[in-house]
Structure 1
Amino acid sequence: MKKRDRYLTGILLILIGVLVGTILTMYQQGNWINDQAEVKFTEVKKSERPFYTDEELSNLDPRFLFKQVAEEITPTVVYIETEVSVGRRDMPDDGNHDGDLFDDFMGGRARTVGSGVLISKDGYILTNNHVIDGAVNGGIRVVLNDKRLFRARQVGSDPTTDLAVLKIDGENLPSIIIGNSDNVDVGEWVLAIGNPFRLRSTVTAGIVSALSRQVQVIDNQMRIESFIQTDAAINRGNSGGALVNTSGELIGINTAIASQSGNYQGYGFAVPSNLASKVARDLIQYGEVRRALLGVTIESVDAFRADQLDMNRIQGVEITSLREGAAAYQSGLKIEDVILSVNGIEVNEANELQEKIAVLQPGEVVELEIWREGEVVTKSVKLQLMENEIAQNTTNQLSDPEYERYQDDDSGSGDREVRFFSFDLGFKVMEISSSDENEPTELIISEVERGSEAFMKGLKEGYTIKKVDDEKVEDLESLKDLVSQSLNRSNSIVLHIETNDGAKGFYQLNKN
């Protein structure tokens, strides 16, 4: 072998040895598979106390109060499910009302859902009228936040404000604190709590977007709309729920949404708490709303009218007519007077003035600041009780407590006789019969005594009695006999009634 070949062979053997040694070393040290560092100890820090307490966060920004407010208020908001007759399917589905009507009708009935707010520890609930409107007897169920289920009875309702009051039997129930909606300002934070789309106890947040909104969602000629507008998400099922401020006070009852799709689009509306609480007090105490009457026709002042009246700025609500003998007339108010404030609170829209009067009671004295012929004067007005003139006229016609005969001019069928009888269970029945044999005798409930068994079971004036138990009633005498026999037999009666809109119901009344 040549000398040069021996050198090359030696170098190659050396390189192969180095390579094999390197591979063996790497394998022994584990670097071939995984390059890991040896760790003897790792410390993980953990703390049960947040870096900032809730109190410290709330001092930084009011939004950090939401957690605490939600915890306090959610138990006071209830879920309401109402059974209505299929005939109630004409309920508006315009995106402003949230009573979801389900298509799975059973036995001629459908279900609507909504929310309510517990306003007392003994079970009074404030909600919207459209949530429970058309409910069949015993058809209102209330589920609390802790999942307890109650049957509710209707204490009263007010279509002009779309409010209603329910009652459940309970003690020491969670109840909300009602705040002063006159102190609400645009831009302040609020929470809306309710049950949208059957999602129980849902909390959303936003701000007050505007005040005194009139959006024409209440279908009533005497409606009062002066809504708080909010961008907190409100959807179907939220109606009757709570709108609260960062102090956890109720400032509104969520009522409507402005939407083209039927779902939330940034505009929700709530009845102010001052108006809602006044309506609730009246319904609980009187069974109806006692509305204060000023007795004027009004219009908001615009730029053109302010110029005509020589006003120094555009403000107030102008009186365009006066009802003779009413409160404003007797207090010396005049046509073209401009009302600037009510009890020191400015009013610049007609619906604002309506709301400020509506929260007061008949007989109260209200201080009005008036712009009159270039001067500002103050007038004290004692408010009167607003009465339904049509109902009043009907009552006057049938005022005799026992018997009256009158001419039915519309039918031309001759004389009609009216008799009344009061039952011990707390209701009075008016019998209307005709000398014409073809005219059926009507038995109409004309009065329900507050606090009586009939009142507590939800019997209403205007209902027509058709049967007692399963026996058809022909006249007042047969009604008295059937009621007496049933009470003697079982200490209870079941009245089969029909409402003015044709809905039928059953009411069981028990003798104490």
Structure 2
Amino acid sequence: MKIRDKILSGILLVLIGVLLGMILMFFRQGTFSFDLAEVKVTEVNRSESPIWTDDELEKIDDRFVFKTIAKTVTPSVVYIETLINARDRREMSPGEEEDGGNFWDRYLPRTRTVGSGVIITADGYILTNNHVIESAVRDGINVTLDDKRTFDARVVGRDPSTDLAVLKIDAENLQNAVIGNSDRLEVGEWVLAIGNPFRLRSTVTAGIVSALSREVQIIDDLRRIESFIQTDAAINRGNSGGALVNTSGELIGINTAIATQTGSYQGYGFAVPSNLALKIARDIIEFGEVKRGLLGVTIESVTASTARRAGLNEISGVLIIDTVEDGAAAKAGVQSSDIILKVNGVAVSESNQLQEKVAMFRPDDQVTLTIWRDREELETDVVLEEMQPIVQETQTIPENNFDEEQLGPEPEMWEEIPGDENSGIEQQSFRELGFSIRALATPEDPDRFNLYLHRVQRGSEAWNRGLREGGEITEINGNRVHTLDEVEKEITDSLKNHRSLTFKIRTGQGTDGYYQLF
């Protein structure tokens, strides 16, 4: 009996174990279900069309047209690769020829620089920056369109003074940009910058016009014209030559430069206004070079003190420091101390603005100047003359009685030489400007001095503008100077107020010349 009970107990335990195992298996496989609640399936509504149409959004805010602008304008912006010699990337040694150079230069590796350009005609004329293509080797410029077609490009012409150039590719029926009127541009308007930063092709960034008529001293040319549009649309390396467009999709600038301490975007970009760029392009296409009218004046922006002395109600206009003898302005009756308020009815308040307006015209064109003279406003018509080659323009550089090659190398830094009270000689160095001045006491009055350029640093702004040792400084910014203190005051005031410096310098032959810095 006991044996049977044990067997039955074992069988019962086995059955219980099998049952528990089956229940656990059902739970793990999810085949054991409980009707806990009734569940209803609800469909999610999905819209096949936007709540607001593009037209309705565009009426709400200009920014909603950005995608339309990008789609329309991007095909007219090209990617440019320029092949240059490595020798053009390094500083040439003294005496090395610009063309030819060292025997081994032809075997140095070549490198590529990149930039952007804008198609301005359907048959393949492209506007870009001069610095994008200026060092190109023969057949070394390659253009890639937005649709990825590539072309070899040739240089039609360049204008270093505005940092612009025109290329030509052999193509037809291209989508060209619509050129807008940059004179109508206002601070605060939305703009888009389109280009190829860091080789990232067809990149679009947005911002506003931050300022107009900016002069930032980035074009290395004696006749530079800087009246840039400033924008906070992101512009980086590779954007040079690209398009700056308004909310109508019109080209209103050629992106040219950035203000940066790192080499990358820091909030400020600059573009050549489209009106000036189009004029330069037309000249290059028609003549192969730029035809620029010459007014024949030395100028500076009107300051608060100048406006007060002249009796102006506001600080505006451009002061005529001097006129070129028998020049266009002098022939029309323009005089020193006149203040130009308008050019063809358009107001000017900075010297670079006047340069830009005059640069829009060719030789023999007539412009109407609105002038402030003797507390009265008057108008005069001026027929512009042809600007002569730069070699002829620099004939007023002071001549010295020594051979420039015998000067020897310039020291890296100059020491200020304090003047001896009994010597009648004082000297002061202006390192930031690149020159030093020596003052010689006059026999008539030991407290009055004749001021001479004693040393000019080669390659400095002063050197590039034509200042040379030996010239006598008689005026700065139209004011007579007789002591180093007066010189220092004029220079300090100009630097502090971000104004240009204009020197009147007399050569050993008794002729006067005017030289403008910054």
For Structure 1 versus Structure 2, the TM-score category normalised by the shorter chain is 0.5 to 0.7
Match of 1:470 in 2: none
- The whole-number CA distance in structure 2 between the counterparts of 1:350 and 1:163 is 21
Say which SS state the counterpart of residue 217 (structure 2) adopts. coil
| 1:194-273 aligned within 5 A | 194-273=195-274
Match of 1:443 in 2: none
Match status 1:117 vs 2:118: yes
Structure 2: 5+ residue stretches without partners = 1-22, 92-105, 396-403, 405-518
- Whichever residue aligns with residue 312 of structure 1, its letter is N
| 1:130-169 aligned within 5 A | 130-169=131-170
- Whichever residue aligns with residue 274 of structure 1, its letter is N
Shift of 1:90: 3.9
Note closer, same or farther for the CA distance 1:46–1:318 as it changes in structure 2 (3 Å cut): same
Match of 1:334 in 2: 335
- The whole-number CA distance in structure 2 between the counterparts of 1:391 and 1:347 is 28
Say which SS state the counterpart of residue 178 (structure 1) adopts. coil
Match of 1:185 in 2: 186
Shift of 1:76: 0.4
Note closer, same or farther for the CA distance 1:307–1:110 as it changes in structure 2 (3 Å cut): same
Query: 8 Å contact 2:206–2:233 — kept in the other structure?
Result: yes
Note closer, same or farther for the CA distance 1:375–1:136 as it changes in structure 2 (3 Å cut): same
- The whole-number CA distance in structure 2 between the counterparts of 1:80 and 1:194 is 10
- The whole-number CA distance in structure 1 between the counterparts of 2:75 and 2:278 is 19
- The whole-number CA distance in structure 1 between the counterparts of 2:162 and 2:180 is 18
Shift of 1:310: 2.0
- Whichever residue aligns with residue 44 of structure 1, its letter is V
Query: 8 Å contact 2:139–2:152 — kept in the other structure?
Result: yes
- The whole-number CA distance in structure 2 between the counterparts of 1:379 and 1:37 is 95
Match of 1:300 in 2: 301
Say which SS state the counterpart of residue 59 (structure 2) adopts. helix
Note closer, same or farther for the CA distance 1:45–1:321 as it changes in structure 2 (3 Å cut): same
Match of 2:386 in 1: 385
Shift of 1:360: 1.5
Say which SS state the counterpart of residue 158 (structure 2) adopts. strand
Shift of 1:292: 1.0
Shift of 1:109: 1.1
Match of 1:63 in 2: 63
Query: 8 Å contact 2:229–2:253 — kept in the other structure?
Result: yes
- The whole-number CA distance in structure 2 between the counterparts of 1:122 and 1:39 is 68
Bigger Cα displacement from structure 2, 34-43 vs 73-82 = 34-43
Note closer, same or farther for the CA distance 1:391–1:307 as it changes in structure 2 (3 Å cut): closer
| 1:310-349 aligned within 5 A | 310-349=311-350
Shift of 1:177: 0.5
CA offsets, 1:406-446, max 9 Å, x none?
A: xxxx9xxxxxxxxxxxxxxxxxxxxxxxxxxxxxxxxxxxx
Shift of 1:379: 1.0
Note closer, same or farther for the CA distance 1:139–1:257 as it changes in structure 2 (3 Å cut): same
CA offsets, 1:348-380, max 9 Å, x none?
A: 000000001111222221111111010010111
Shift of 1:387: 1.5
- The whole-number CA distance in structure 2 between the counterparts of 1:280 and 1:90 is 30
Shift of 1:40: 5.2
Match of 2:129 in 1: 128
Note closer, same or farther for the CA distance 1:176–1:106 as it changes in structure 2 (3 Å cut): farther
Note closer, same or farther for the CA distance 1:34–1:208 as it changes in structure 2 (3 Å cut): farther
RMSD of aligned C-alpha atoms?
A: 2.7
Shift of 1:106: 8.8
- Whichever residue aligns with residue 141 of structure 2, its letter is I
Query: 8 Å contact 2:87–2:108 — kept in the other structure?
Result: no
- The whole-number CA distance in structure 1 between the counterparts of 2:307 and 2:188 is 29
- The whole-number CA distance in structure 2 between the counterparts of 1:253 and 1:212 is 14
Match of 1:482 in 2: none
Note closer, same or farther for the CA distance 1:35–1:368 as it changes in structure 2 (3 Å cut): farther
- The whole-number CA distance in structure 1 between the counterparts of 2:393 and 2:185 is 38
Say which SS state the counterpart of residue 370 (structure 1) adopts. strand
Shift of 1:42: 3.4
| 1:1-16 aligned within 5 A | none
Structure 1: 5+ residue stretches without partners = 1-22, 92-104, 395-409, 411-512
- The whole-number CA distance in structure 1 between the counterparts of 2:190 and 2:34 is 57
| 1:86-101 aligned within 5 A | 86-90=86-90
User: Please, what TM-score do these two structures have when normalized by structure 2?
Assistant: 0.66
- Whichever residue aligns with residue 349 of structure 1, its letter is E
- The whole-number CA distance in structure 2 between the counterparts of 1:386 and 1:215 is 24
Query: 8 Å contact 2:194–2:204 — kept in the other structure?
Result: yes
Note closer, same or farther for the CA distance 1:179–1:32 as it changes in structure 2 (3 Å cut): same
Match of 1:496 in 2: none
CA offsets, 1:205-252, max 9 Å, x none?
A: 000000000000000111000000000000000000000000000000
Query: 8 Å contact 2:79–2:143 — kept in the other structure?
Result: yes
Match of 1:352 in 2: 353
CA offsets, 1:55-77, max 9 Å, x none?
A: 11000000001000000000000
Note closer, same or farther for the CA distance 1:320–1:186 as it changes in structure 2 (3 Å cut): same
Match of 1:462 in 2: none
Identity %: 62
User: Please, what TM-score do these two structures have when normalized by structure 1?
Assistant: 0.67
Shift of 1:391: 6.3
Match of 1:376 in 2: 377
- The whole-number CA distance in structure 2 between the counterparts of 1:107 and 1:248 is 44
- Whichever residue aligns with residue 88 of structure 1, its letter is D
Runs of 4 or more above 3 Å deviation: 30-42, 391-394
Query: 8 Å contact 2:120–2:177 — kept in the other structure?
Result: yes
- Whichever residue aligns with residue 211 of structure 1, its letter is L
- Whichever residue aligns with residue 200 of structure 2, its letter is L
Shift of 1:304: 1.1
Shift of 1:32: 9.1
Shift of 1:43: 2.1
Say which SS state the counterpart of residue 334 (structure 2) adopts. coil
Match status 1:364 vs 2:370: no
- Whichever residue aligns with residue 208 of structure 1, its letter is V
- The whole-number CA distance in structure 1 between the counterparts of 2:149 and 2:71 is 18
- The whole-number CA distance in structure 2 between the counterparts of 1:35 and 1:297 is 97
